[in-house]
């Protein structure tokens, strides 16, 4: 703590600070500004304090949407993470098939969200869509516009199709960086395939997996376009996630105050859950800090 303090360093941080201020902090403050005031137009504002926050936190509409979001993210992570790891493990490590597989994997990632939504919306229609028609012919009563389960299943399949590749590519990059000697040593130690995965591959891809989990969590928790394009949040309110509800409140009903309060709560939830994921995964399997201090 006796290090000499050099204030010049602040000048080097200043440009980044200004950039972040303009791009993030100032817009965020506008939202904060809206969240504590009420307006009836004409640019006249009344102080509302924590009124909107209380309202949002106590509204069953918010609770329901939050519940849907949590369920959706949980399903997405539970499917995409194991599936991504499994696909990454089966990809070839060298040879001419590597670029072919990687490009095939990367293709869905290049497609914009709303296009993915439209593709599946058409794909699932019983009159013109291949999937909907096939389901109809197979005798399955599939209709995402009227049945809650079908709508959810369609959105989940859509997301899995769209984003599992990201997990695959991240895990693959982690897997190919494991030196061959680890596998050789494991063979010599007589380790089974499962043990190789548990003790070598999984610990070695832990860091990229953390990034994959965070990215997939944040993205799935902020899902908007797919359900919006598919059913606009329906049938009923069954696929009305926080983001859709937020847009309805802000632009549909023009309730700027509650919408701003909701945005901030939404943002804090994403931040909090990301932090929880990060901390849990970072500390899992790591040495307890006290024993390390003692040894050093």
What residues make contact with another protein under the rule CB under 8 A?
A: 179, 181-182, 184-185, 187-192, 195, 199-200, 203-204, 285-287, 291-292, 295
Min CB(17)–another protein separation in Å? 36
Min CB(282)–another protein separation in Å? 13
Min CB(193)–another protein separation in Å? 12
Min CB(100)–another protein separation in Å? 21
SS3 at position 47: strand
Choose between 54 and 207: whose C-beta lies nearer to another protein.
Answer: 207
Half-sphere CA count of 276, side-chain side, radius 13 A: 8
Min CB(92)–another protein separation in Å? 17
Give the separation between CA 283 and CA 178, rounded to whole angstroms.
Answer: 21
Choose between 139 and 179: whose C-beta lies nearer to another protein.
Answer: 179
Contacts of 295 (CB under 8 A, 6+ apart): none
Choose between 147 and 204: whose C-beta lies nearer to another protein.
Answer: 204
SS3 at position 141: coil
Read off the DSSP letter of residue 198: I
Choose between 133 and 199: whose C-beta lies nearer to another protein.
Answer: 199
Choose between 114 and 283: whose C-beta lies nearer to another protein.
Answer: 283
Give the separation between CA 16 and CA 21, rounded to whole angstroms.
Answer: 8
Q: How many CB atoms lie within 10 A of CB 174?
A: 21
Q: How many CB atoms lie within 10 A of CB 37?
A: 18
């Amino acid at each position: 703590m006796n290090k000499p303090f050099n204030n010049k360093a602040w000048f080097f941080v200043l440009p980044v600070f200004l950039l972040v201020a303009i791009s993030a902090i100032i817009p965020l403050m506008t939202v904060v500004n809206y969240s504590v005031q009420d307006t009836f137009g004409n640019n006249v504002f009344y102080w509302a304090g924590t009124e909107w926050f209380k309202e949002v936190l106590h509204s069953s509409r918010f609770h329901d949407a939050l519940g849907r979001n949590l369920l959706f993210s949980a399903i997405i992570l539970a499917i995409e993470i194991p599936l991504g790891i499994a696909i990454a493990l089966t990809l070839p490590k060298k040879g001419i098939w590597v670029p072919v597989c990687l490009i095939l994997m990367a293709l869905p990632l290049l497609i914009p969200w709303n296009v993915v939504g439209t593709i599946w919306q058409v794909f699932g229609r019983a009159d013109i869509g291949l999937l909907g028609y096939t389901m109809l012919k197979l005798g399955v009563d599939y209709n995402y516009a009227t049945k809650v389960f079908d709508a959810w299943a369609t959105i989940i399949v859509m997301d899995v199709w769209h984003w599992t590749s990201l997990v695959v590519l991240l895990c693959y990059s982690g897997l190919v960086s494991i030196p061959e000697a680890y596998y050789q040593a494991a063979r010599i130690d007589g380790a089974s395939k499962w043990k190789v995965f548990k003790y070598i591959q999984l610990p070695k891809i832990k860091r990229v997996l953390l990034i994959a989990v965070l990215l997939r969590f944040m993205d799935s928790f902020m899902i908007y376009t797919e359900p919006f394009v598919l059913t606009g949040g329906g049938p009923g309110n069954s696929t009305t996630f926080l983001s859709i509800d937020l847009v309805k409140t802000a632009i549909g009903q023009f309730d700027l105050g509650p919408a701003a309060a909701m945005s901030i709560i939404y943002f804090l939830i994403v931040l909090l859950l990301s932090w929880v994921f990060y901390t849990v995964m970072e500390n899992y399997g790591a040495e307890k800090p006290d024993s390390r201090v003692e040894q050093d």
